[in-house]
Amino acid sequence: MYARRLIGLAAAVLAALAAFSPGSASADGRYGKQKVVYHINYTGAEGDKAYIRALRNVQNHITAVGRDNIEVKIVLHGDGVDLLKVAMTNDKLQAEVTSLKTQNTSFAVCNNTLTGRKIDPGKDLFEVFKEDIVPSGVAELSYLQGRGYTYIKP
């Protein structure tokens, strides 16, 4: 009986510590539910560092708010589409994209860019499916903002 109480008390203490640890969104409900759209239309630069930093920003945002409290859309157009092109051969980018997709994050790829640059999403881009393609990246940004998504350009 005493051991069971002690285990229960220890579990309660650990749960309380986890709830009030730094960076925990559930500590006081500070951030609440969020819908955000990240806008990427630039090159990855040397070593694809700009893309890696952008995806890390998204991950940090999810971690702060909590994966169950956030819906993230990443809109790629222009040079930003290269993020998924480079991910075809960059294991780090592949891992980041795959991880984000498991955390209520989706990627919206601009069809205007695909058409203009003659990019075949099935062959040239990492894990892009028909439902990921939007008619226009910039129009998608406006559309999402009109539906309550907060705009972020990392």
For a pLDDT cut of 70, what percent of the chain falls above it?
82
120, amino acid identity: D
CA dist 91 and 19 (Å) reads 33
25, amino acid identity: A
The pLDDT tens digits of the residues spanning 88-116 come to 999 999 999 999 999 999 999 999 999 99
Q: What are phi and psi of 127, to 5 degrees?
A: 45, 55
How many Cβ atoms from other residues are within 10 Å of residue 75's Cβ? 26
CA dist 118 and 91 (Å) reads 24
108, amino acid identity: A
The pLDDT tens digits of the residues spanning 110-154 come to 999 999 999 999 999 999 999 999 999 999 999 999 999 999 999
